[in-house]
Amino acid sequence: MTSPIILSKIQPPPTRPDLIIRPQLLERLQTGISRRLTLVSAPAGFGKTTLISSWLDTLEQSKASPAIAWVSLDEGDNAPVRFWTYALAALHTVQPEVGQTAQELLNGSELPSFEIILTALLNDIQARLPATQRIVLIFDDYHIIEDQTIHEWVTFLLEHLPPQLHLVIISRSDPPLPIARLRARNQLTELRTDDLRFTPAEAAAFLNQAMGLQLSAENISALEARTEGWIAGLQLAALSLQGREDIEGFIANFTGSHQYVLDYLVQEVFEQQPQTVQRFLLQTSILDQLSGPLCDAVTGDHNGQSMLEHLAAVNLFVRSLDDRRQWYRYHRLFLDLLRHKLQQTGIDVDELNRRASHWYEQEGSTDQAIHYALAAHDYDHAGDLIVQNIKDIFIQGKKALLLTWLEMMPPSWLHAHPLVCLAYAWVLFVNGKFEASKQRLAQVETQLMTDGTEGEFDEACIPQLQALPHSLLSVKGLLLTLKGQLSVMQGETQQGIDYLEAGLSGMPDEPPGLKNFVIHQLRLAYWINGDFDAAENILHRFQTEQPVAGDTATIIALLNQAERHLLHGRLQQAAVLYQRLLQVLNKQEREAWFPAALAHSDLGVIFYEWNDLAGAEYHARKGIEFGNRGLGTVRAVAAGYFGLIQTLRAQNNLAEASRVADEMDGLLQEVDLGFHLPISNVLRIPLWIAQNDLDTIRQLLPTYQTAALSRLASQVSKLTSLVAQRYLALNEIDEVAVIASNLLVADDQNIDDHVNGRVLLALVHQAQGDRPQALIDLTEALALAEPEGYIRTFVDFGPPMIALLHDVLAASRQNGADQPPTADYIHTLLKTAQPLDAPPPNAPLLSAAASPLLEPLTDREMDVLQLLAKGYSNRKIADELVITPGTVKIHTSHIYSKLDVSNRTQAVAKARELAILLTT
């Protein structure tokens, strides 16, 4: 299933015997073990890797040595699965049992969320290693990592690090991790450029002892000044001084020159080498890694191995990657200089790359073979290799790599290979590049269909078909599915439904994964289209046609019912079902699966309506977080933002609300869903009203119609009501009346439409001076709304609504009737609708801004703290929260560290003191 581990990547690089020992740096590294992270961040050539490997050498000699897990990263590690596979393999070399569960999860056919994988790893470390043992996990060349998910999960690891584990990150630029936070909490040791540059004493020792020169103090300080202690510069200077007679002359020229240090010195050193060495350096500079046989293949000579050993021995540009003198690589700093030189020589670089590609192909290293074939501009061969191996590429999850390759292929090749293009469209789609995917798909279609007749494939494609991975076998089904999803995403829902239905009918039962996926997409499409019976129906069809695991069916059924209740304004029932759904997901350890995102986001909307702002914020943020991780959850993300922006506005935190709205725009644009932007602007309407920014509201582009397209966001009537607020603010009463009557003509089962419609109508009548009718409308709305606990729909309209509510209250006192709306209910509404300058009644007890803690507790940690306060044991907390006792231990240790206490009694006392416990 997975590609083999390259051992040299998880071995610390060997150190050289003539190393300069740097005691003060070693001491800082040693004391740093007690903190969470050591960051070694400096440009190339400052001896970062050398320093850490020399530290490891001293550790090996000392007695209570921590165990070392080393990972040398390369470009290929930008795939999360591969990154963690290597991290686990490195830990495995330390303690064979550690990380076994996590490894099994990673290798499994269905990849769970990384939260589950990493939690398994952390639990393992906690459970299997004595508290006194230390493991140092080192990531070298971390700057190569660009994949945002990897950064997120490294951050997760850092935030949940058990005391046994220490992280070292070696990087040429500061990684996008919470460095400032760790620094503020004294959990970070940093070694930066200024710490790493050679001191004059170290420069002297290096030049005269390690490099065997006999330079005067004056010459040494001249070199040290010119290179500013940059080790690579000093090393090159030493190399060009070795065996030179006119030392004074060289140093005078070098220090007098304005030329870039490295350019100058590499030129000097290079020219001192014999012709054969110069030639070897240039020809092999195309390679990222070097071995004797590979170099021979590229140069056509037979001296590769001895040449590499020689270069490494004299420390000339090359460094060894393993103890067995098998693999080497050029020091990154010289690589570009050599490649630049090669470019100017007139050597046939394409031919060199072609030879490298051929060698790797013989060795069975497909990725490398494709890489060098592309570098050689040999597209036909690269294409052949891609087609031959596409199954493995998919199985091994190298989709990002496939994208990089296909982006380099010329259009003519892609044109001749429509099925690879289909795979291309699929990968683009999965990566959220919907527009590009759509274009590819259109291309595939014209290529695949003979003379345009629908559904017929060119016979000539069949051999290509055989090579495709299993899940792509139903080409027609897949094509239609992709088209359908793209249409739905872009608002052409009916069209999308047609495609998806057609795709589903042509889809084979095997493999079930793809078919289930299409079924869900289709259901979502019906839902978006407002055809709820069809959405439910598809589930029945799906259950009878193909029985699936009971759990999944339960989840989808719950989700469907809950969504339907919510849509009709049956908030109570919807909330109960969503909470049950979350429990089921929790039990199955699928907390982060897309139904959870939908459940959280919709609970956020419900809690907002109930004016439980703390609950609304919690669920909305969860919904956004989970929704961001998966496909098909645009609705969850949009609903999450709906809840969050409204909540922040209700808390009178307009700046944050507006920042969050910007964040939503950015997110939608990132995934090519810019056409949903009107939603976020509709969500901004109350913000502008609160800021009395009527000009912006007047210029606002989206109309009722554009907002209506956004069923994706949440309940249509709620968005519509926001649009109506816009018209109210501008005093355009007729428009409000139109919106109200549109809501009221709809399905009369729909509480939500009717509550919103009646409320608007009441405001219209009041504005028109028809107060009695306004009271009738409002009373009707209140009667419908009371059993479901509606609050914000009323109070968000502010003073005019307050006045009306007082009148309804007075009228109900006269009538003395005890059917809804009750006086109690209206009192609650009035209490909530206080003027904005008073603090909101249900302000959250713990918000990030108000927290007196340096780092606020996470939601989960709050949950644990609540139960600690009730005196629960770890076991009982674990049962209550449906997590393992090991995870509870991780949480409690974080709670202690954040509260700066050492046991649970102190933690609870401190929490009371800080007033962060929720009163229940």
Partner 1 sequence: MSQNRFFSKTQCPFHSAAEYQIKVLGWLGQDWSDWFDGLTITNQAEVDSEPVTVLTGCVIDQAALHGILRKIANLGLPLLAVNRLHSKTTHAPNENPKA
Q: Take residue 708 and report the two structure tokens written for it.
A: 């209506």
| Residue 845: Cβ within 10 Å count | 14
Q: Can you tell me the distance from the alpha carbon of 644 to that of 602, in angstroms, rounded to the nearest whole number?
A: 11
The distance of closest approach from Cβ of residue 338 to partner 1 in the complex, given in angstroms and rounded to an integer, is 11
Considering only the stretches 125-133, 247-255, 260-268, 504-512, report the one whose residues sit in contact with partner 1 under the rule CB under 8 A: 260-268
Q: Can you tell me the distance from the alpha carbon of 515 to that of 253, in angstroms, rounded to the nearest whole number?
A: 72
User: C-alpha distances in angstroms, 157 versus 37, 69, 167, 187, 586?
Assistant: 11, 15, 9, 14, 21
**Nearest in space to 41 (alpha carbons), one of 176, 235, 150, 236:** 176
Considering only the stretches 118-126, 294-302, 336-344, 818-826, report the one whose residues sit in contact with partner 1 under the rule CB under 8 A: 336-344
Site string for partner 1, 30-69 (x = CB under 8 A): -------------xxx------------------------
Q: Binder to partner 1 among 63, 96, 131, 258 (CB under 8 A)?
A: 258
Nearer to partner 1, 455 or 666 (CB): 666
Window 337-356: residues binding partner 1 (CB under 8 A): 337, 340, 343-344
Q: Take residue 5 and report the two structure tokens written for it.
A: 């581990």
Asked if residue 76 lies in contact with residue 9, where contact means CB atoms within 8 angstroms, the answer is: no
Residue showing tokens 């400032």: 180
Q: Take residue 312 and report the two structure tokens written for it.
A: 């490494």
Window 779-798: residues binding partner 1 (CB under 8 A): none
Q: Pairing between strand 165-171 and 37-41?
A: parallel
The distance of closest approach from Cβ of residue 76 to partner 1 in the complex, given in angstroms and rounded to an integer, is 18
Q: Binder to partner 1 among 332, 391, 399, 629 (CB under 8 A)?
A: 332
Helices marked H in 34-79 — which ranges? 48-61
Q: Can you tell me the distance from the alpha carbon of 82 to that of 94, in angstroms, rounded to the nearest whole number?
A: 19
| Beta-bridge partner residues of 330 | 318
Window 210-239: residues binding partner 1 (CB under 8 A): 230, 232
Cα maximum dimension of the chain = 113
Asked if residue 10 lies in contact with residue 93, where contact means CB atoms within 8 angstroms, the answer is: yes
The distance of closest approach from Cβ of residue 861 to partner 1 in the complex, given in angstroms and rounded to an integer, is 36
Nearer to partner 1, 226 or 515 (CB): 226
| Residue 157: Cβ within 10 Å count | 21
Residue showing tokens 């073979």: 369
Provide the 8-state DSSP code for 468. S
Number of residues that bind partner 1 (CB under 8 A): 28
Per rule CB under 8 A, is residue 259 in the interface with partner 1?
yes
Nearer to partner 1, 133 or 267 (CB): 267
One-letter amino acid identity for 523? Answer: R
One-letter amino acid identity for 138? Answer: I
Window 77-106: residues binding partner 1 (CB under 8 A): none
Site string for partner 1, 162-181 (x = CB under 8 A): ----------xx--------
Nearer to partner 1, 68 or 266 (CB): 266
What are the φ and ψ backbone dihedral angles of 138, each rounded to 5 degrees? -115, 130
Nearer to partner 1, 648 or 888 (CB): 648
Nearer to partner 1, 559 or 689 (CB): 689
Nearer to partner 1, 262 or 448 (CB): 262
Residue showing tokens 């030189």: 341
The distance of closest approach from Cβ of residue 258 to partner 1 in the complex, given in angstroms and rounded to an integer, is 4
Asked if residue 236 lies in contact with residue 269, where contact means CB atoms within 8 angstroms, the answer is: yes
Per rule CB under 8 A, is residue 723 in the interface with partner 1?
no
Considering only the stretches 269-277, 512-520, 695-703, 825-833, report the one whose residues sit in contact with partner 1 under the rule CB under 8 A: 695-703
The distance of closest approach from Cβ of residue 365 to partner 1 in the complex, given in angstroms and rounded to an integer, is 24
Per rule CB under 8 A, is residue 262 in the interface with partner 1?
yes
Q: Binder to partner 1 among 65, 242, 450, 696 (CB under 8 A)?
A: 696
Q: What is the H or E stretch that residue 887 is in? A: helix 885-899
Considering only the stretches 96-104, 280-288, 335-343, 841-849, report the one whose residues sit in contact with partner 1 under the rule CB under 8 A: 335-343
| Upper half-sphere CA count for residue 208 (Cβ side, 13 Å) | 15
Considering only the stretches 331-339, 490-498, 609-617, 843-851, report the one whose residues sit in contact with partner 1 under the rule CB under 8 A: 331-339
Residue showing tokens 């039990």: 587
Considering only the stretches 79-87, 257-265, 379-387, 741-749, report the one whose residues sit in contact with partner 1 under the rule CB under 8 A: 257-265
Asked if residue 756 lies in contact with residue 739, where contact means CB atoms within 8 angstroms, the answer is: no
The distance of closest approach from Cβ of residue 842 to partner 1 in the complex, given in angstroms and rounded to an integer, is 29
Nearer to partner 1, 333 or 785 (CB): 333
Per rule CB under 8 A, is residue 684 in the interface with partner 1?
yes
Question: Residues 742, 747, 749, CA angle at the centre, nearest 5°?
Answer: 130
The distance of closest approach from Cβ of residue 790 to partner 1 in the complex, given in angstroms and rounded to an integer, is 30
Per rule CB under 8 A, is residue 261 in the interface with partner 1?
yes
Return the SS3 of 302.
coil
Nearer to partner 1, 181 or 331 (CB): 331
Q: Can you tell me the distance from the alpha carbon of 902 to that of 768, in angstroms, rounded to the nearest whole number?
A: 65
One-letter amino acid identity for 427? Answer: V
Q: Binder to partner 1 among 335, 395, 690, 733 (CB under 8 A)?
A: 335
**Nearest in space to 899 (alpha carbons), one of 853, 863, 862, 867:** 853
Considering only the stretches 128-136, 261-269, 779-787, 856-864, report the one whose residues sit in contact with partner 1 under the rule CB under 8 A: 261-269
What are the φ and ψ backbone dihedral angles of 157, each rounded to 5 degrees? -60, -45
Q: Take residue 635 and report the two structure tokens written for it.
A: 């609705």
Q: Take residue 399 and report the two structure tokens written for it.
A: 């989709």
Considering only the stretches 252-260, 492-500, 508-516, 739-747, report the one whose residues sit in contact with partner 1 under the rule CB under 8 A: 252-260
Nearer to partner 1, 185 or 339 (CB): 339
Q: Binder to partner 1 among 120, 182, 281, 333 (CB under 8 A)?
A: 333
Per rule CB under 8 A, is residue 859 in the interface with partner 1?
no
Residues interacting with partner 1, by CB under 8 A?
43-45, 172-173, 230, 232, 258-263, 332-333, 335-337, 340, 343-344, 665, 677, 681, 684, 696, 699, 701
